Amino acid sequence: MKNGILAGAALVLLACSAALLAQQGKSASSTAGTAGRDTKFDARDLNGSWIGTQKFFGDDNKVPEPPLTAWAREHLLMESISHTGLNLTAKGESSTTSSKSGIRDANGVPANIPEGHYPGERCEPLGVPVQFNGTHYYPFQFIILPDRIYQMFEKQMERRVIWLNRDHNKDAFPSYFGDSIGKWDGNTLVVDTTGFNGRLWISENVGHYMSDAFHLVERYRLTDATHMELEMTYYDPKAWGDKAWTGWTKSFRLDSKGDSLEENICDPAHWQDYDNVILNPITGKK
């Protein structure tokens, strides 16, 4: 009797195990291709700190810049830039890695030279879009409220307000971050910014400033609960006429659902000490 009970129990156990294995196999096949993805998330919940997935400072836009207007060539060009210019691949140069000195960007500005200039060189404001040049190293944070969105940047501790449910303020005083308004297009946050003061860089890799007519359109979209894509389009009638500069993209991963930003104050006195002790001896400046 005892042996019969044991044998029956063994048969039941085997049957249950076979059913369990079959169910596991079914589950594995039904979730194939979704490993590591959370298919249940709030597509409009951008709250938290985000860090870029790129591995370099600057941009890598394969779309050529629209031709500069005569006014832009006279008023917006820089003397030089310390990073490699965009769109140099046609000349055999990379736009994402170190290149030899003596090259010029698409507008003829000397690029990738030790004495070249760069955003925030003397702790000047960065603003957008140039803040996104370094978000692989310096994260930024979204704080979403019913009537506005705060965008907090770790680099130089800058902040931005994106207003919801209103139009542009026609009386807004020109500023570094401009007047930003946001709206939802499905699950994509569209941010439209005008009212810049024309004193900012566009990118570490572009050898001219924006004008005060610069117009930025951003589109933020979650691809899953921990990954976000950003597409940007640049307009500047004074620089490019009626042409838009497209192709600007960034990818981010969630660094913290809360706040992971650290204090990052830019102190001009410390920058000067660095120049005197390290940079100037290297470049031969006095």
Rounded to two decimals, the pTM is 0.80
CA distance 257 to 238: 40
Is the four-CA dihedral 76, 77, 79, 84 of positive or negative sign?
positive
**pLDDT tens digit string along 189-236?**
999 999 999 999 999 999 999 999 999 999 999 999 999 999 999 999
For residue 29, pLDDT over 50 is answered with no
Other CB atoms within a 10 A radius of the CB of residue 138 amount to 19
| Confidence label for 102 from pLDDT (cuts 50, 70 and 90) | confident
Task: Let me know: does 130 contact 202? Beta carbons within 8 Å.
Answer: yes
Is the four-CA dihedral 43, 221, 148, 262 of positive or negative sign?
positive
Q: Is 45 or 56 the better-scoring residue by pLDDT?
A: 45
pLDDT of residue 22: 42
For residue 28, pLDDT over 60 is answered with no
DSSP-derived pairing of the beta strands 148-153 and 140-144: antiparallel
Helix (H) or strand (E) holding 245: strand 244-256
